Amino acid sequence: MTKLATIEYKKRRQTLLQQLPQGAVVVVQCAPVHIRNGDVEHDYRQDSGFYYLSGMVEPQTTLVLTNSVDGPMSTIFCRSKDKLQEIWHGRRLGLDKAPDELLIEQAYPSESLTEKLIELLDGASQVVYGFGREDTAALLQQSLSALRSLKRQGKAWPTQLVDLDPLVDAMRLLKSAAEIDQMALACNISVAAHKRAMSSCKVGMNEYQLAAEVHHQFAMQGSPRVAYGSIVAGGENACILHYTNNDQVLQDGDLVLIDAGCELDHYASDITRTFPVNGRFSESQKIIYEIVLAAHQAALACIKPGAVFTDMQDAAAKVITQGLIDIGFLTGELDTNITDQTYRKFYMHNIGHWLGMDVHDVGIYKLDGESRPLIPGMVTTVEPGIYIDPDDTDIALQWRGIGIRIEDDILVTESGYLNLTAHLPVAVADIEALMAGEWLPI
Ligand SMILES: [Mn+2]
């Protein structure tokens, strides 16, 4: 698996510390281990914010960054080498290798965290940590109390608490060239996986079997895991937005919606395509599909530096509303329908989300209450959809249970945008040709 260079992590730590005053101490903790069932753990996946600053994949790890008078300093607390533990549970980086491997100045064993943290916090002006992390808050409370109890020995404790997340989130929102390369690679793998799913889909397969085709391709092209739980939703299951049961048989005449993306070195890709299980769209399915596709294209056409998120949403909503009026799902004037957001019955989510180390990536969507302008280096999904409630008796039977979403991953560039997942067929004719085994000029 390709990985970002270690220097990238060091630069991030420097960039973060440059934004903080002298005397600031940053405390960042790794993701906790979660039990799956009995004594079996869930696959360990590092916390994105922690990995962003450390490049360290192991649990039981804490990173402390200090802006002292002697300059910036990084300290990592990690697991010591332990032959017996490593025989049973796997390799550890260890204290000797950690500084060189991670370009961090000093390493201490995890067990010494409470004690050493008191030393690192002594005389500091402020502590910077993620306010959402209760474990870190508890750790700091303990350390600060201990420090206060030592005041007669001349110890001084920081009196300011600063939230780390807005600082790191703002950095993560703008992707570096190396990050963009990594995300583009993840997108290429996911494109290939969706193509494999289209090519191998057959009537009578189970949804989880089609999911396996996607995951097989991820692995064969170098991605060891998914970026999020794959959605493989046949027929009306596609109307459940976060359907992940993936355990129903795919039926002749139904569509199947696949929302799946691989993860590469902690970077996500996130693609949705909807295609006919038997390889041919029905007339009703095609009509709805073309509306969603037109909305997708209208949203894409808005993307350029300075455009705002709501531009994309408004463009997509307008196309979808007109389409729903044209087929008689909505009545009345376009403008009135848009003002009343009547489309929300059929298109109930937003146009997209930031994409990065988390699939729904960090970064705020509004600045001072206004939708924030796009800047080159941001990556967003564009994913309009139409979902027709299978139980909606106001709608003719032929339409009920149709659920369609089309999602691509978009990098904002100086000149507009780059669709990182553009090589995956999206037009009806191209999807049908791919499913029929015909050559596609890609
Ligand atoms: Mn998405």
CATH value at residue 110: 3.40.350.10
DSSP state of 26: E
Q: How many H helices and E strands in the chain?
A: 13, 21
Task: Tell whether 405 and 307 lie within a shared domain.
Answer: yes
Which residues does 294 contact at the CB level (< 8 Å), separation at least 6? Answer: 319, 323
Task: Tell whether 85 and 125 lie within a shared domain.
Answer: yes
Task: Tell whether 17 and 35 lie within a shared domain.
Answer: yes
Q: Which of 172, 199, 233 is the last residue of a domain?
A: 172
The whole-model pTM stands at: 0.96
CATH number at residue 217: 3.90.230.10
Domain count, the chain: 2
Q: Which pLDDT score is estimated for 439?
A: 67
Task: Tell whether 119 and 180 lie within a shared domain.
Answer: no
Which residue ranges in the chain fall short of pLDDT 50? 441-442
Would residue 440 count as lying in a domain?
Answer: no
Which amino acid, 73? M
Which residue is catalytic, options 169, 207, 407, 409? 407
Q: Which pLDDT score is estimated for 1?
A: 66
Q: Which pLDDT score is estimated for 295?
A: 98
Task: Tell whether 178 and 167 lie within a shared domain.
Answer: no
Task: Tell whether 153 and 227 lie within a shared domain.
Answer: no
* Integer Cα distance of 405 and 231 in angstroms: 12
Task: Tell whether 260 and 316 lie within a shared domain.
Answer: yes
Which residue is catalytic, options 12, 353, 358, 361? 353
Any catalytic annotation for residue 383?
Answer: yes
Task: Tell whether 163 and 178 lie within a shared domain.
Answer: no
| Ligand 1 centroid – CA 271 distance (Å) | 7
Q: Which of 172, 207, 227 is the last residue of a domain?
A: 172
Given a contact cutoff of 8 angstroms between Cβ atoms, the answer to whether 346 and 386 are in contact is yes
Q: Which of 116, 151, 172 is the last residue of a domain?
A: 172
| Ligand 1 centroid – CA 241 distance (Å) | 10
Q: Which pLDDT score is estimated for 442?
A: 46
Any catalytic annotation for residue 89?
Answer: no
Task: Tell whether 240 and 363 lie within a shared domain.
Answer: yes
Q: Which pLDDT score is estimated for 440?
A: 61
In the numeric block, the tokens 């002006």 are attached to: 125
| CA triple 195-312-309, angle to 5 deg | 110
Domain that holds residue 197: 174-435
Would residue 20 count as lying in a domain?
Answer: yes
Strand partners for 271: 260
Given a contact cutoff of 8 angstroms between Cβ atoms, the answer to whether 302 and 286 are in contact is no
* Integer Cα distance of 41 and 346 in angstroms: 39
* Ion ligand 1 nearby residues (CB, 5 A): 270, 381
Task: Tell whether 179 and 164 lie within a shared domain.
Answer: no
| Ligand 1 centroid – CA 31 distance (Å) | 23
Per-residue DSSP letters for 43-85?
A: PP---HHHHHHH----SS-EEEEEEETTEEEEEEEEPPP-HHH
3-state DSSP assignment of residue 197? helix
